[in-house]
Amino acid sequence: MTHHHDIIILRDLVKQYVEIAHDPIQAERRTLWRQLNSLRRTRPLITVSYGTWNVWGREVFGDMRMQCSDPFYREHERWLRMQLFQYAIGDDTIQEPWITQSAALRGEWRNVWGVREGHSAVNMNGGAWQFDPPITEWKDIEKLRVLHHVIDEESTARNVARIQDAVGDLLEVNVERGPVLQGFMADISTSLAGLRGLEQVMLDMYESPEELHSLLGFMRDGILMNQQEAEDAGDFRLTTQSNQAMPYAEELECPRANSGSRKRSALWCICAAQEYTLVSPAMHDEFMLQYQLPILRHFGLVAYGCCENLTRKIDMLRQIPNLRIIAVTPTADIAACAAQIQTDYVFSWRPNPTDMVCYGFDECKIREIIRTGMEESKGCHVTIHLKDVETVQGEPERLAKWTKIVREITDNYA
């Protein structure tokens, strides 16, 4: 295999991607997302996301394997193939007219505080693991270091040139320079569990509240510093944002490749505290939200929640002045959430993927669950996000079938 061979593969995929990225449906979707995320009445919008590449490489493509040999080109091949598959699902995900090359940043997932956030070996084909935290005694906090926003410009320029030379004449190459500490690496909760251990954090709230407060304050300040350094360097862009849906709103500029620098106040932010799903609202507020708020206030709009049950915490979340989207998860009480959210926020409903597509495909069951959920959330600004799909039992066509069924039902709630 040669790089020439890899580039031929990429160029063929890019040509297919360019065609779908310029489908008129993309403009329609942008309009709908801008309206819904600005709390204007639209039909419910649908998004589908799914799990690890190791699983989906087999389930989606069957015997066909990734064809690029070079890891650099292979990662772009992966993204292009998954985008083409996403388009075929027929949900409301937008395929944007660019391909992204991320800058070479100091720091990486689960390794941003000077120590690696620990867990036991993970079988990438599935299976359980447990936390193996590096902070077992409070004196171990001395090992922690704040991550500065540093870009290896030489490596970044080399990588940008490689993808630009390969496909830049066909599709714009967007250079993403945003900081490592954003998204789940900036929600504090994700890293806290990795540093201290999930069960231990819950005990710390009772047994060592002062020490826990000190650790939370250190992490808050480190995140704020990292993000401020990135903003000062001009490295936040209109593509440096996420809301677990489509980051559009009438109050903000639309995402655009290579937009030039922006303040965080022009961007979306996703925040969550999945590890706190069993923690009381009062303790969630004291030992997490109060440390997240100084981070969130810098952004234009906020989406809160991922997999945690927020049914009893919606009043607490109203402290977030720029909150726009609230996650309503499989374990949440849909009716109770709807009664609290009403039309104040976007109601991001995440039905249980097990009931939808993961184990069997029961159309009658799907219709019953979706109809019930739509009735219970009637009057809200609803998105339906099928997420955390880790298997479709070798039948990837289930996702397109599911989307069609759900759209038939939800169109009646426009």
pLDDT number for residue 121: 65
Residues 6+ apart with CB under 8 A from 47: 91, 92, 93, 245, 246, 383, 384, 385, 386, 387
| Confidence class for position 391, pLDDT limits 50, 70, 90 | confident
* Residue 115 pLDDT exceeds 90: no
pLDDT number for residue 58: 55
For range 378-407, the mean pLDDT: 94
pLDDT tens-digit map of 347-370: 999 999 999 999 999 999 999 999
For range 163-176, the mean pLDDT: 98
DSSP annotation of 260 reads -
pLDDT tens-digit map of 261-284: 999 999 999 999 999 999 999 999
* Residue 53 pLDDT exceeds 50: no
pLDDT number for residue 125: 58
Rounded CA separation 226/235 (Å): 11
* Residue 110 pLDDT exceeds 80: no
For range 187-213, the mean pLDDT: 96
Using only C-alpha atoms, the chain has a radius of gyration, in whole angstroms, of 21
168-189 burial code (b ≥16 CB/10 A, e <16): beebbbbbbbbbbbbbbbbbbb
> Could you tell me what percent of the chain has a pLDDT over 90?
85
| Confidence class for position 62, pLDDT limits 50, 70, 90 | very low
Rounded CA separation 160/259 (Å): 16
Rounded CA separation 209/189 (Å): 16
pLDDT tens-digit map of 327-339: 999 999 999 999 9
Bridge-based pairing state of the strands 381-389 and 268-271: unpaired
- DSSP sequence for 176-230: E---SSSGGGGSSHHHHHHHH-HHHHHHHHHH-HHHHHHHHHHHHHHHHHHHHHH
pLDDT number for residue 384: 98
Q: Which domains does the chain have, with CATH numbers?
A: 3-413 (3.20.20.210)
pLDDT number for residue 1: 45
